[in-house]
Amino acid sequence: MASENVSKTVSLKDYIIDMQSAAVKGSAQYEVVLENNTDFIIKRRTATTDRELVILVSKGLYYIKDCKTGHIEELKEQSLNTFLRELKDGMVALHEVHWLSNLYRESVGLIMQVITDETLTDMCRHNVLVNTFDPTWYTRYWKQNSKLFIRLYNMFPSMADRKKYQASIPVIFWIEEQYGANEAMFFAEKLVQS
């Protein structure tokens, strides 16, 4: 009986391929079409589809457009999940969007939170929504005094700095509540000087 462990001859030539033509079927390519302070449009291309995710916070418009047919689909959490599903471990860098610096597959929750919460949307429109894990932490202060919040945002190098500035925000708004906006700003100015 012949040996069943007969080794097959393997050649290095069998493994040399053209990487460009060997792209994974169904893989999507994402690219930034437009971005500014609050808005962005991302194009997603596959071998068969060409779609755009349109997030226009400044105009209150959120949808996915099929570029081949012109069909517009209102943005829902499920459709956003579907649009971003092939990002997997990747990301799309957004250099100009204040409230979202990188678009990940896991960004669905934050995007849906921002476009469905009127306070967060308003903060985006004023370019003061802080790029942070939990933006709702700031909504209480925005509702208390949005003008003071805007001034603090412009004054602090980074409001999301947990070690210095974020911890002082409750104190500043407590001072504003007890003694007025001028005293709160005085305290904030001294904090920045320190």
Alpha helices, DSSP H, located in 85-117: 108-116
pLDDT for 15 equals 65
Q: Residue 142 in contact with residue 123, Cβ under 8 Å?
A: yes
- Which is it for strands 61-66 and 40-45: parallel, antiparallel or unpaired? unpaired
Average pLDDT over residues 57-65: 94
- Asked whether residue 57 carries a pLDDT value surpassing 60, the answer given is yes
Average pLDDT over residues 134-147: 91
pLDDT band, very low/low/confident/very high, at 18 (cuts 50, 70, 90):
low
The confidence band for 167, taking pLDDT boundaries of 50, 70 and 90, is: confident
What pLDDT score does 129 carry?
79
Structure confidence at residue 175 (pLDDT): 95
Mind listing the pLDDT tens digit for each residue in 84-93?
998 877 889 9
Contact 44, 28 (CB under 8 A): yes
> Which band of pLDDT confidence, cut at 50, 70 and 90, is reported for residue 22?
very low
| Whole-angstrom distance, CA of residue 155 vs CA of residue 159 | 9
pLDDT band at 24 (very low <50, low <70, confident <90, very high): very low
- Taking all residues of the chain, what is their mean pLDDT, rounded to a whole number? 85
Beta strands in the chain (DSSP E): 29-35, 40-45, 50-56, 61-66, 72-74, 92-93, 102-103
